[in-house]
Structure 1
Amino acid sequence: MPRIAYVDGRYVPHDSATVHIEDRGFQFADGVYEVVTVVNGRLADEEGHLARLARSLDELRIAWPVTPQTLKMIMRQMVVRNRMADALLYIQITRGRAPRDFKFPAKAAPTLVLTCRRTKFQSPRQLADGVPVVTIPDIRWLRRDIKSVSLLPQVLGKQQAVEKGAFEAWQIDPDGTVTEGCSSNAWIVTEAGALVTRPASSLILNGITRQSLIRLAAGLGIPFEERAFTLDEAYRAKEAFISSASTFVLPVTSIDGKPVGNGKPGPLGRQLRQAYMNHVGTPDPVPLPAENA
C-alpha cells in the first residue's frame, strides 16, 4: 500500500507530496517539528508532544496552522490511512511561503506537513547487549529547548557516530559535561545508585519520554538527581541509557569504547523501560531478555 502524507489540508501520495520552493522551512529552517511514536496503533505520550509543539511555535512566534484539536484528528487519520501499527508520525510546521527575506513576512500562512513511516523498534540483541555511544563537542545554537527543524549539527554528529560504529553520539559542552545525544536524552546511574539526567534548560531538548521517565522514577522510589554530569562521571557509571520517542529506554554499554559498569545492561534501566511501556498502555514491542542473558 502506498504511503500517504498530509500537506496543508490535503491527504496526498507520499511520493508526490510537495511544498513551495520559497517555503521558509526550506530557505531558513524557519520551523519546528514533533515526532510521535505509534505503538500497536496508539499514539504514545501524545499530549506531551502537543504541549511541546505549542511551546516551540510560541518561542518562534509561528501561528498554529490548525487548532490543536484538528491536528489530533489529522494525526489519527494519518495512522488509519497508512495502516501502520508501529510507526513514527512526524509533524512539521514552518512559517510558510514568502519571498526570501530574513525578517518575518507580513503575510504568510504556516505550512503544515505530516508524514508517517513504518519503524522497527529495538531488537532483542540491542536490549540484551546494549548499544555503544561516542562523544563529540556540542556545536549547536543556544536554544536547544526549541524543537527546530535546523538539525545540521545533529546530522554531522550522527554521521560521526555511524563512522565509529556507534549507535548515538553524546554531545559535550565546553565545561566537560554531557548535554544530550543527537536525537536522545542521556542518563547515567551513579556508583551510589542514583539516577541522573541533565536538568531541562535552553541547553537541551526537554524530551517527552524524559519527562515521563522522571515521573515514573519518582513513583518507583528511585533515587534521582536532575543535574549536569561530566564525561568522567559517565565513564565511571554503573549504568547508562538513552531515552527518546523512538528508543523508549535503550541501554548504553560503552562510551568511547570504555565499558559502562560490567559492560551489560543494568537492572534500573530495565525497570524503567518496562515502566514506560506500561505507561503508554502497551506491552513492550520487544520482550525484555532475561537479566544478564
Structure 2
Amino acid sequence: MAIGYLNGKVISSSDPVLPIDERGHQFGDGVYEYIRIYNGRAFMMDEHMDRFFKSAKAIKLNLGQTREEIITVVNDLIERSGLADCDVYMQATRGIAPRNHLFPNVPASISMTVKPFRAMDETLRKNGAKVKLLPDERWQNCWIKTLNLLPNLLAKQEAFEAGAFEAVLVRDGIVTEGSSSNIFLLKDGTLITPPATKHILHGITRIAVLDIAAELGIPVEEKEFAPEFIFEADEVFLTSTGIEIVPVTSADDRVIGEGNPGVMTTKIYEAFMKRV
C-alpha cells in the first residue's frame, strides 16, 4: 500500500498535513530525491544519499539526520508498505516559519512517500521515443535537486502537447539534458554525454551508464555539443531513475540514425538490468 512519512511519524499518503506557512509550499525552499525500489531493495542508495546531502548543503539546509538514519527510515517504510517494486520520494524543506525571504536556521522538515512504481509504456523502449528540442529556461544551478521544477514542467508539457515523450533542453546553443532525464549519444562507437557541470542534474542512472560503458570497453567523452550533433549521431538515448534507459529515434520529427533503437543502446540497457 502507499504510505507517507513526516518528521518521524508514519501517515497515510493522502493525509492533509501541509501547513500554510511551510516554506516548501511558500518558496519551494527545499530539495528532494527519488529512489527506485526493485524487489524490496533500494537501487544505488549510496549515490542517491550523496546527491541528497550535497543538494541540502548547497542551499544551506541542515537535514538534522545522518544518512544512516534516513536510510533506516526508507527501509522501514518499504517494509511497512509491503510493496516490492515502488517509488520512494523524499523531500526536505526548511519547515514552518513566518513568510520571510531570510530563512530560519533550523533542522529540516523531512517527508517521504512510498507508492507503487509507475510503469512506463514499454513500447517506447521497443520502438524508441520522440523528443522535442526546447530552450533551457531554468536557473544556473541545475545540479541541485530542488523543489523548483516549474521550467521543467512547462518544457515537459510543451513536448507532450507536440506529441513527444521528452523535451531536450538547449542553453546558449549547447544541449544540456532532458526536462527530467540525461541524454547520451553514440557516434562512431564512442559514447558522448554533456559534462557534469552546474547546468545539468548529475543523474544516478547517468553514473551507472558511465560505469557500464567502462566495463564494456566503450570509449566515453563527456563534452558539450550543439543540437545539430543529435541528428548526426548513430544512436541517442535518455536516462533517469524512472525510465532507466530509453532509446530516442526522432527529434523535432527528424529521424535519428536508422529510426530504430540502436544495438549499443540495447546492450547498455541489458547490462543495466543485470545490475538491477
**Distance apart, 1:124 and its partner CA:** 3.7
The residue that corresponds to 1:68 in the other structure is: 67
2: distance between equivalents of 1:157 and 1:201? 21
**Residues 61 and 107, structure 2, Cα contact 8 Å, conserved in 1:** no
Residue of structure 1 in register with 2:12 after alignment: 13
Counterpart-to-counterpart distance in 1, 2:14 and 2:259: 43
Q: Which ranges in structure 1 are unaligned for 5 or more consecutive residues?
A: 281-293
Deviations 1:180-237 (A, max 9, x none): 00100011112x2211000001110110110111111011100111101111000111
Give the counterpart letter for 2:185 in structure 1: I
**Corresponding residue of 1:50:** 49
Q: Name the structure 2 match of 1:266.
A: 262
| Equivalent-residue separation in structure 2 for 1:165 and 1:214 (angstroms) | 30
Question: What's the counterpart of residue 206 of structure 1?
Answer: 202
Q: Distance in 1 between matches of 2:107 and 2:64?
A: 7
1:157 to 155, 158, 167: 155
User: What are the residue-to-residue correspondences of 1:229-248 with 2, within 5 Å?
Assistant: 229-248=225-244
- 81-90 or 231-240: bigger deviation: 81-90
Report the 3-state secondary structure (helix = DSSP H, G, I; strand = E; otherwise coil) of the residue aligned with 1:169: strand
1:38 maps to 37
Q: Secondary structure at the match of 1:261?
A: coil
Equivalent position to 1:137, from 132, 135, 138: 135
Task: Quote how far apart the aligned CAs of 1:119 are.
Answer: 2.0
Secondary structure of the corresponding residue to residue 101 of structure 2: coil
For 1:289, the equivalent position in structure 2 comes to none
Q: What amino acid maps onto 1:183 in structure 2?
A: S
Alignment of 1:69-218 (within 5 A): 69-106=68-105, 108-174=106-172, 176-190=173-187, 192-218=188-214
CA–CA distance in 2 between the matches of 1:128 and 1:218? 25
- Deviations, residues 231-261 of structure 1 (Å, cap 9, x unaligned): 1000111100000011111111111111110
State how far apart, in whole Å, the 2-side matches of 1:13 and 1:206 are: 31
Secondary structure class of the residue paired with 2:11? strand
Shift of 1:82: 1.8
**SS of residue in 2 equivalent to 1:5:** strand
Query: How far has the Cα of 1:109 moved from its partner?
Result: 3.5
Calculate the aligned-residue CA RMSD, in Å. Answer: 1.2
Q: Tell me the alpha carbon deviations over residues 135-160 of structure 1, each in whole angstroms, 9 at most, x when there is no partner.
A: 11000000001000100000101110
**Matches of 2:120 and 2:59 in 1, distance apart?**
34
Distance in 2, matches of 1:123 and 1:42, equals: 23
Q: Distance in 2 between matches of 1:104 and 1:233?
A: 43
Q: Is residue 7–residue 17 contact of structure 1 (8 Å, CA) maintained in 2?
A: no
Match of 1:284 in 2: none
CA distance in 2, matches of 1:242, 1:134: 13
Question: 2-side partners of 1:116 and 1:158: how far apart?
Answer: 24
Amino acid at match of 2:143: D
Q: How many residues align?
A: 276
Runs of 4+ in 1 over 3 A off after TM superposition: 120-124
TM-score, normalization by structure 2: 0.97
Matched letter for residue 235 of structure 2: E
Q: Percent identity?
A: 36
1:254 and 2:250 matched: yes
Matched position secondary structure for 2:130:
strand
Partners in 2 of 1:204 and 1:127 — Cα distance? 23
State the alpha-carbon separation in 1 of the partners of residues 118 and 266 from structure 2.
19
